[in-house]
Structure 1
């Protein structure tokens, strides 16, 4: 009974939060939304791996993961999917621009990490998540 009450309160709180959510709605077809959500989960895994590599002093490897998974090299992963499963074309232009900025920032981080300079690499870590934060605080899918 207690669990059901907690669950009900959580649902009610979520409904109130959604009503007060000032972020811009970025509606897209269900398949594109699913692709975007899967990509965001993959980005979280990559960020976690990068942080672990930097902490272990493996800067070159951290940069390689950043470029491969998040950088400009990672762009276009959805090109072969049907139009309705590709998130990019359905995003508001500013949202798409934030995503592009995130890819560029990851490539810049990779370049910095490749130098092997630990302090500069650590200082560049926030650049990996700045676009994520900007997008998630500005846009929502539901």
Structure 2
């Protein structure tokens, strides 16, 4: 019952908020939007894994996940798909730039974490989410 109430409350708050949403609309073909949403969910999973690894002191493992899943190495996942399924070309240029900056920041975090310095790695954690926050605060798909 609690879950249903929270779900209904979230729906009502979300609907009211959507009318006041001042973020820039970044419409794209359905296939590109689906790929972007899937990629964002995968990024959340990767962030969670990285945080758990850092908390456990497994910095080099966190570095590997950051680079593989979020870093520059992760760019171009949809390159071989049809143009209408590739999110990047349909983004406003500034939105696309934020995404590229996020990949670069993840690679930099990976470099720091790979050094094994826990203090510097923890200090670098916010760089993993800064681009995510900037993009989600500035842009919307619907």
- 1:81 matched residue in structure 2: 81
TM-score scaled by structure 1? 0.93
Q: Counterpart in 1 of 2:18?
A: 18
Matches within 5 A, 1:34-53: 34-53=34-53
CA offsets 1:73-104 (integer angstroms, 9 cap, x no match): 00000001111110000000000000000000
Following superposition, the deviation at residue 7 of structure 1 comes to 6.4
Q: Report which of the two structures shows the higher radius of gyration computed on alpha carbons.
A: 1
Q: Which residue does the alignment assign to 1:61?
A: 61
Q: Structure 2: which 5+ runs fail to align?
A: none
Q: Select between 12-21 and 84-93 the one with higher mean Cα deviation.
A: 12-21
Moved more, 14-23 or 103-112: 14-23
State the shift of 1:14 in Å: 2.7
CA RMSD in angstroms comes to: 1.9
2:31 is equivalent to residue 31 of structure 1:
yes
Give the TM-score normalised by the residue count of structure 2.
0.93
Deviation at 1:13? 3.4
The 3-state SS of whatever aligns with 2:78 is: coil
Superposition deviation, residue 15 in structure 1: 2.6
Q: Summarize deviations over 1:28-64 as a string: whole Å, max 9, x none.
A: 0011000000000000000000001000100000000
Partners of 2:49 and 2:95 lie apart in 1 by 25
Residue 128 of structure 2: aligned partner: 128
CA distance in 2, matches of 1:49, 1:21: 31
